[in-house]
Chains A and B, each alone.
Chain A
Amino acid sequence: MARQSNLDAARLRRDLGLARARRVTIYSAVGATAFTGVLALVAATSLPGHSVTTTPASQPGLSDSGSVSQPGLSAPILPPQYGYGGVPVAVSGGS
C-alpha cells in the first residue's frame, strides 16, 4: 500500500515536472520572439546600420557591375526643362 502511494507520488512529480518544462519552453519561445521584435525596433531606431545603393537593372551605358562604361559621359541630373505645353520655346533676337 505504501509502495503504491510512493509510486503515485513519483508519477505525479514526473508529470508536474514535464508540464513545467513544457510551460517554460512555450514561455521561452514567445519571449524570444517578442525579444527579437523589440531588438529589431531598437536597432532600427538607434543605429540603422547601412545604406544600400541600388541601380536600375537595365540602364544603357552601364556595365554589369554597375559602373559607367563611358567615363566621359554622364546622364544629366534633371531632364531638359521646357515651357508650358511641353514644347520647346524658341526665343527670337528680340528686335
Chain B
Amino acid sequence: MLAAIAGPTPMWYATRASGYTALVLLSASVVLGILTSSREARRDWPRFVVQSLHRNLSLLVSVFLVIHIITSVVDPFAKLNFIDAFVPFIATYRPLWLGLGVVGFELLIAITVTSLARHRLGWRSWRFVHLFAYASWPIAVIHGVGTGTDTKSLWALLVVALCVAAVVAALRMYRSLSSCGLFWNLGISSNTTWY
C-alpha cells in the first residue's frame, strides 16, 4: 500500500521510437549496400554517391542505436545496466530477445570499426567482417519483433513489414542483375573505391 503507481517515463517511449527508427535506417543502409554491390548506376546517382549515402546512413544508425541503448538503461522498467547492453543473454528482462539485440549491436560496432580502418586492414579482412552486416539486419528484425512492446500494434507491424519488403525487393533485384553467387558477391567488388 505504500507503493505508488507511476506511468511509463518518456525514456520508455524514446527507447521504443529510437529502436524502430534505427531499424528503418539500418534497412535503408542495407538496401543501399545491396544496390552498390549490384554495380548498377544511374547517371544522376553514380555509385560513389550511393556508397557515400550507405556509409552516412550506417553512421546515423549507430547514433540512434546509442540513443536506444542509453534510454533503455536509464528507464527503470527493464532494470538494465550498461553491462547488459554489451554482454548478450545475461539480462533479466527477456534475455533471449535482448541478447539478440546486443549481438546485432556488436556486429555493427565491428563493421563500423573495420570500415573506418579498412585501409590498414586490407580488403580481404574488411570483406570478411563486412559480410556480417547482412547478418545484423535479420538479427535486428528478430530482436525488434521478439522484444517489442509494440509488436501487437498495427503501426509497428507496418514499419517492420516495410523494412522487410524493401530489403527483400533489393535482394530480388540484385539476384536478377547478378549472374554470380549471391553471398560471396554482396558488398564486394575489388575495383571499388571504398570511402
Residues of A bordering B, CB below 8 Å: 13-14, 17-18, 20-21, 24-25, 28-29, 32, 35-44, 46-56, 59, 62, 66, 74-75, 77
Question: A39 touching B17 by the CB < 8 A rule?
Answer: yes
Q: How far is the CA of A20 from the CA of B60 in the complex (A)?
A: 17
Q: How far is the CA of A46 from the CA of B57 in the complex (A)?
A: 29
Considering the complex, give the chain B residue whose CB is closest to the CB of A33: B21
Given contacts A28-B60, A32-B64, A54-B3, contact A49 B53 (CB under 8 A): no
Question: A28 touching B57 by the CB < 8 A rule?
Answer: yes
Q: How far is the CA of A67 from the CA of B10 in the complex (A)?
A: 27
Chain B 1-22 interface residues, beta-carbon cutoff 8 Å to A: 1-10, 12-14, 16-18, 20-21
Chain B 152-186 interface residues, beta-carbon cutoff 8 Å to A: 152-153, 155, 159
Chain A proximity mask over B29-56: 1 for CB below 8 Å, otherwise 0:
0000000000000000110110011001
Question: B153 touching A51 by the CB < 8 A rule?
Answer: no
In whole Å, how far is A84's beta carbon from the nearest beta carbon of chain B?
A: 27
Does B190 belong to the interface (CB within 8 Å)? no
Question: A29 touching B60 by the CB < 8 A rule?
Answer: yes
Q: How far is the CA of A17 from the CA of B25 in the complex (A)?
A: 21
Interface residues of B, dominant DSSP: helix
In whole Å, how far is A22's beta carbon from the nearest beta carbon of chain B?
A: 8
Does B24 belong to the interface (CB within 8 Å)? yes
Question: A42 touching B155 by the CB < 8 A rule?
Answer: yes
CB within 8 A of A35: which of B1, B24, B49? Answer: B24
Given contacts A56-B2, A59-B2, contact A25 B56 (CB under 8 A): yes
Does B191 belong to the interface (CB within 8 Å)? no
Q: How far is the CA of A49 from the CA of B60 in the complex (A)?
A: 27
Inter-chain contacts of A62 with B (CB < 8 A)? 2
If A28-B57, A40-B10, A53-B3 are given as contacts, then 16 extra A-B residue pairs at C-beta distance below 8 Å, sorted by A number, are A21-B52, A28-B56, A32-B24, A35-B24, A43-B17, A46-B150, A49-B77, A50-B8, A51-B6, A53-B5, A54-B4, A55-B2, A55-B3, A55-B4, A59-B2, A62-B2
